[in-house]
Structure 1
Amino acid sequence: MADTNQELDIELIKKRAVSGIITFTLRTFFIQAYTFFATFILTILIAPEIFGIYFVVTAIINLFIYFSDVGLAAALIQKKQEPTREDLVTTFTIQQVIIIALIVLGLAFSNSIARFYGLDNSGLMLMRVLIFSLFLSSLKTIPSVLLERHLSFTRFVIPQVAENFVFYTLTIILAFLNFGLESFIWAVLARGIVGLVLIYALSPWKPALGFEMRSAKRLVSFGIPFQLNSIIALIKDDLLVVFLGKILPFAQVGYIGWAQRFAFVPLRFVMDNVIKVTFPAYSRFQHDIRQLSAAIEKSIFFVALTVFPIVTGMVAISSRVISTIPNYGKWEPAIPLLYFFAINAMFAAVNTTLTNTLFAIGKPNIVLKLMVFWTTMTWVLTFAFVKYFGFIGVAAASAVVAASTSIIIYFVKKEFKVAILKNIYAPLIASLIMLALIRYFDHILPPGYPGLVIQIVLGIAVYFGIMILLIGARLLESLRIVFASIRAID
């Protein structure tokens, strides 16, 4: 058996994985709620055109982010044995070389990119600040990996909370003061500095430069296929936004960004937290298929239980929100896009969790082949749908591609047995009934905020009522685990 100071036994892994998902989600609840609220305020304060510019520029910078890492960080987390000092230093060195090269390249071509998109000086400065922020982010990689690998998510979440709070608070203040696009510039810079200081305070690591060929080969053997998947996902998503920024008006890109961001809020709040915890946990279960299968089923149930009702609930109340909130009618053209992106979110909640499983057990090549197919499908359908349906076609194509990702179930079941339907049927049925009832009673409810509040309360009551009828015992057991984990939080 490995040194107990280095490796975690199965029971401890299970305990940390379950508590990690719950505590990680709970500890991020308020900041996620704040992020949602702040984004909502920003969409009131800023015009769709400004939101569209930020959406496109961020997508451009994401191109650099994906090429800044050859998957070595993921390889360190997935590695069965504890990473050595040589592994950490080699990873840090390789990443810094890549980052510096990308920053020089990005700054050199920033003027040309700005002219290509017709960006003003504020847009150019935002791009340059985001490029510089890549360097700050790269310095956080190793301390973050060390926390993730040891499932220390209580500490891991603190810098994220601080970064989001600083970014959105400063952005709102500056937007209120009519700084426009410059609001994002100062907020991005402040976020990067705060996050860097906190991660080193919580996970001290002495940076050093060095290169060990044997270590690099081991890590790259997993890292490159892993990162190729990320790069293909980049082409599928962010590069598509870059393309849309050229062929569509920024206002329409803003509608796309608004709808996508709000439809994906449940994924960012729940699914991302689950994946963050389960990737290292699943990696430790590689030798025990029974434990791995049980862990995956619990993850799928938890994600479906929370994501499905939030997504359908947002769809159900979206029209009333648009008509009720002052200065929010400008986003009405985005409602049809919200519906299609919501379909995407429902499929992604389950299928992304399964994709994460294949990564964790060291099967990135399977996902790589599927990603090539999905990326090709995304570009072909988006181009065709935009031609015939306008900017709404972007979201419609997204929904079709998301449905096709269900093929991942077949590949996961080839590796081991895992039950999908029994873990999602109850949340799905309850969510759809909730959606139907909210929409049915919408026209008879009072206008304005009273009607909106009634819709929300009605939705919650209907969802949990149906869940109790369908799987009452399992729901109560899940709640018991949640409350036990809450009491155990330090």
Structure 2
Amino acid sequence: MHNTSLKAIATKGIIWSAVDKFVVQFGQFVVGIVLARILLPEDFGLIGMLAIFIVLSQTFIESGLGTGLIQRQEREDIDFSTLFVFNLATSSFFYLVLFFSAPFISSFFEKPQLTDLTRILSLSLFLNAFAIVQRTKLTIAIDFKSIAKSNVIGMITGGLCGVIAAINGYGVWSLVVQMLIGSLASSMSLWFLSDWSPSIVFSKKSFRSLFRYGSKLLITGLYAQTLNNVYNICLGKFYPTASLGYYTRAKSFADISAGTIVSTIQQATFPILTSVQYDKEKLVSIFSRMVRMSAFFIIPIMTLIALLAKPIVILLLTEKWISLIPLLQWMVFARIFLPMSTINMNLLNAMGRSDLFLKVDLYKLPMTVLAMVITIPIGLKAMIIGHVVTSALSFIINAYLPGKFFGYGPINQLKEMLPFFVATIGMSILVIMISYFIDNLVLQLFSGIVFGLLIYLSICWLFKLEELTEVKELLLKFLKKTV
């Protein structure tokens, strides 16, 4: 790719990926608020108990093979057919495993309703696996417009069905309806939007080649998902179901911002980084811009959520969720380095070094286990504070190899983020003053967001930060194309 065409493709990809993630996340956020106002924390806790079983099965089904295809420079039809057959076979296998394991899961948590919930919710594995190849093909083509359409269709369809079910008194099953209908609608739309049609052909040679790359990502994914969801098991087993509901809601709120930024940048830039993996100078240039752009968004947004947690929770979810406030304040800070950590790890994948990706993740294991051992017996708030500490240390570990290979390690990256931290401190002072002098929660929330962001952007303008100009240019380009 020439520099001009690469930049144009990257810009278009980032714009549509951002539209996809922000629209979908905002839609899910609104649906989540409506459901939380109707349902009880215990309902969200029940679904949280099943999260680890679903995500681990999903990780096995994907096995990093789709990422392996994206990373490749040359691909054939047999590779995609092999991936399709593998996905269907493994999704069927894991559905059967969860179906027959459901009574044991129910017995472990001492919640009889989990048997039926597990057996029905596990159908999402098959629905998602059915469209992995279509999503992979569109990602390779950097056609994030089509991916955005499918995700929005799934979000709207699933959200509407879930809310209707909740209004009609279906309780926890409303969440199951939302997930299953959403997955079905998204997968079906991907089939209509993609020009690929499957052939039931499986190549052992192609599978071995893909699995050599994907196996490291599989192990890493299993490890990461286990650590991310082991808290759900501990809370579900040893704490009241409502505690797990508060925890999952805190994660959901925090991931609205951090998760959106991570998935936007990761999805849009992975194929770009892959295409320039042998051009060190260009690779580092793109990589550094990603770090700065992530910091530009994530640092002020997460800080603003923490400062305005009280009006956000009470106004959006009602006072029955008031116990969520301190948990949310800590959880957003546990996510503040997540986008930058993910970018560092994504660089290793783009270089084809999934082996290093695995090693880096395993280096973090003792730290994570120690934090769990110390905090789980203390309580829920202590567990989330442990997240904050391990998240900051994980960023330093993740940034070590980019520093070794490209001279762009944690110290350099933190220096790049420093102006955004300074601007955020200025914003925080104003928001704290607003919260102190204004008692009305609606006015407090509105004033905090508007004037807080104005101060942040003004300081960025005074510092002449190029990210502000880039975002403005991206918005103008998008508006011109949509008007």
Interval of TM-score (by shorter of Structure 1 and Structure 2): over 0.9
List per-residue Cα deviations over 1:430-486 (Å, max 9, x = no partner). Answer: 123212321133121141312321222121111111111122555224422442244
The equivalent position to 1:440 in structure 2, one of 414, 433, 437, is 433
Q: Mapping of 1:416-435 within 5 angstroms?
A: 416-418=406-408, 419-435=412-428
What residue ranges of structure 1 are gaps of 5+ in the alignment? 1-7
For 1:383, give the aligned amino acid. Answer: V
Judged with a 3 Å threshold, the aligned counterparts in structure 2 of structure 1 residues 476 and 217 are, in CA distance, closer, same or farther, namely: same
Partner of 1:3: none
Of stretches 363-372 and 195-204 in structure 1, the one that deviates more from structure 2 is 363-372
**Offset of 1:86 from its aligned partner?**
1.3
For 2:60, give the aligned amino acid. Answer: F
Judged with a 3 Å threshold, the aligned counterparts in structure 2 of structure 1 residues 95 and 323 are, in CA distance, closer, same or farther, namely: closer
Judged with a 3 Å threshold, the aligned counterparts in structure 2 of structure 1 residues 318 and 194 are, in CA distance, closer, same or farther, namely: same
Partner of 2:9: 16
The yes-or-no answer on 1:342 pairing with 2:332 is yes
Query: Aligned partners of 1:108, 1:224: CA distance in 2, in Å?
Result: 27
The equivalent position to 2:72 in structure 1, one of 58, 72, 79, is 79
List per-residue Cα deviations over 1:397-454 (Å, max 9, x = no partner). Answer: 1111101112222211212133523532222221232123211331211413123212
Percent of aligned pairs sharing the same letter = 22
**Offset of 1:489 from its aligned partner?**
5.7
Judged with a 3 Å threshold, the aligned counterparts in structure 2 of structure 1 residues 68 and 27 are, in CA distance, closer, same or farther, namely: closer
Judged with a 3 Å threshold, the aligned counterparts in structure 2 of structure 1 residues 324 and 234 are, in CA distance, closer, same or farther, namely: closer
Instruction: State the SS of the aligned residue for 2:195.
Output: coil
Partner of 1:163: 154
Query: Aligned partners of 1:128, 1:9: CA distance in 2, in Å?
Result: 51
Query: Aligned partners of 1:321, 1:239: CA distance in 2, in Å?
Result: 28
Partner of 2:215: 224
Partner of 2:45: 52
Q: Mapping of 1:116-265 within 5 angstroms?
A: 116-121=108-113, 123-265=114-256
Query: Aligned partners of 1:378, 1:452: CA distance in 2, in Å?
Result: 35
TM-score by length of 1: 0.92
Q: Is the 8 A contact 1:255 1:331 kept in 2?
A: yes
The yes-or-no answer on 1:468 pairing with 2:461 is yes
Query: Aligned partners of 1:295, 1:485: CA distance in 2, in Å?
Result: 21
Judged with a 3 Å threshold, the aligned counterparts in structure 2 of structure 1 residues 269 and 50 are, in CA distance, closer, same or farther, namely: same
Partner of 1:330: 320
List per-residue Cα deviations over 1:292-312 (Å, max 9, x = no partner). Answer: 111111211221111221111
Q: Is the 8 A contact 2:303 2:333 kept in 1?
A: no
For 2:13, give the aligned amino acid. Answer: G
The yes-or-no answer on 1:410 pairing with 2:400 is yes
The yes-or-no answer on 1:358 pairing with 2:351 is no
Q: Is the 8 A contact 2:45 2:244 kept in 1?
A: yes
Partner of 2:359: 369
Partner of 1:312: 303
Of stretches 19-28 and 244-253 in structure 1, the one that deviates more from structure 2 is 19-28
The equivalent position to 1:105 in structure 2, one of 82, 97, 101, is 97
Query: Aligned partners of 1:322, 1:366: CA distance in 2, in Å?
Result: 40
What residue ranges of structure 2 are gaps of 5+ in the alignment? none
Q: Is the 8 A contact 2:18 2:264 kept in 1?
A: yes
Q: Is the 8 A contact 2:85 2:201 kept in 1?
A: yes
Partner of 1:5: none
Query: Aligned partners of 2:414, 2:441: CA distance in 1, in Å?
Result: 39
The equivalent position to 1:449 in structure 2, one of 442, 450, 456, is 442
Query: Aligned partners of 2:206, 2:270: CA distance in 1, in Å?
Result: 22
Query: Aligned partners of 1:437, 1:404: CA distance in 2, in Å?
Result: 29
- Structure 1 stretches of 4+ moved >4 Å: none
For 2:162, give the aligned amino acid. Answer: T
For 1:402, give the aligned amino acid. Answer: S
Judged with a 3 Å threshold, the aligned counterparts in structure 2 of structure 1 residues 27 and 195 are, in CA distance, closer, same or farther, namely: closer
Judged with a 3 Å threshold, the aligned counterparts in structure 2 of structure 1 residues 10 and 219 are, in CA distance, closer, same or farther, namely: farther
**Offset of 1:347 from its aligned partner?**
1.2
**Offset of 1:244 from its aligned partner?**
2.7
Query: Aligned partners of 1:449, 1:194: CA distance in 2, in Å?
Result: 36
List per-residue Cα deviations over 1:330-371 (Å, max 9, x = no partner). Answer: 222222222222222111121111111111111122221222
